[in-house]
Chain A
Amino acid sequence: GDSVTQMEGPVTLSEEAFLTINCTYTATGYPSLFWYVQYPGEGLQLLLKATKADDKGSNKGFEATYRKETTSFHLEKGSVQVSDSAVYFCALSDQGTGRRALTFGSGTRLQVQP
């Protein structure tokens, strides 16, 4: 079945540091890939997505590139801020299976210190 693997957290960085959160996946069909963010006390918000190989999703300074050859969708940001502290979830939606539900990774907590 489909699965998503994320790096374990928490990730602790100083403000303005470079961020990478690794995400790899396995899928039987042709997945779309997503990064969601969950701020404390809130639900999940879409951060960015990519629907086919080599697409790059970007939003709020975050980027991720759909790499089919390495089955990866790593999240990056060049300079993090304290306000980026949250839990980040990588997810996929496998169009080939016909399922509409998302398969999520376990989440990575990011803590940015001033």
Chain B
Amino acid sequence: ETGVTQTPRHLVMGMTNKKSLKCEQHLGHNAMYWYKQSAKKPLELMFVYNFKEQTENNSVPSRFSPECPNSSHLFLHLHTLQPEDSALYLCASSQGERGEETQYFGPGTRLLVL
């Protein structure tokens, strides 16, 4: 499945570093999402973008900064993260207006903060 790609697949960073995660969808969808998957916790929604506009921020700390330059690309800029931010970050996309549409996920970026 190559509909949603994410880079890098693995990332190790120090608490003072700045890095960015990239997501690209090749499905022509109008909505994109960032989720966080931590060990032993349910997937947590972070951000939702619809037609490049942010429509939901799930009380995410400001050290995570999303960017959606167009409907096909989504970034997550990381700055001064904490060790507890280590997790798998998943990007997803969907098409539709009513919420019952299927979300298609990328393979994720596994992040380790030292």
Question: Interface on A for B, CB 8 Å cutoff?
Answer: 4, 32, 34, 36, 41-46, 49, 51, 89, 93-95, 98-107
Contact = CB atoms under 8 A, between A and B. Distances in A.
A56 B24 CA distance: 32
Interface residues of B, number: 29
A77 to B, nearest CB: 20
A43 B107 contact: yes
Contacts, number: 61
Given A43-B105, A106-B42, A98 B99 contact: yes
13 contacts: A4-B42, A44-B43, A44-B90, A44-B105, A45-B1, A99-B56, A100-B48, A100-B55, A100-B99, A102-B43, A103-B45, A106-B41, A106-B42
A32 B90 CA distance: 21
Contact of A101 (B48, B102, B104): B48
A102 B1 contact: no
A105 B55 contact: no
Contacts of A99: 56, 99
Given A43-B4, A45-B1, A94-B99, A101 B90 contact: no
B100 A45 contact: no
Nearest to A32: B100
Contacts of A98: 99
B56 to A, nearest CB: 6
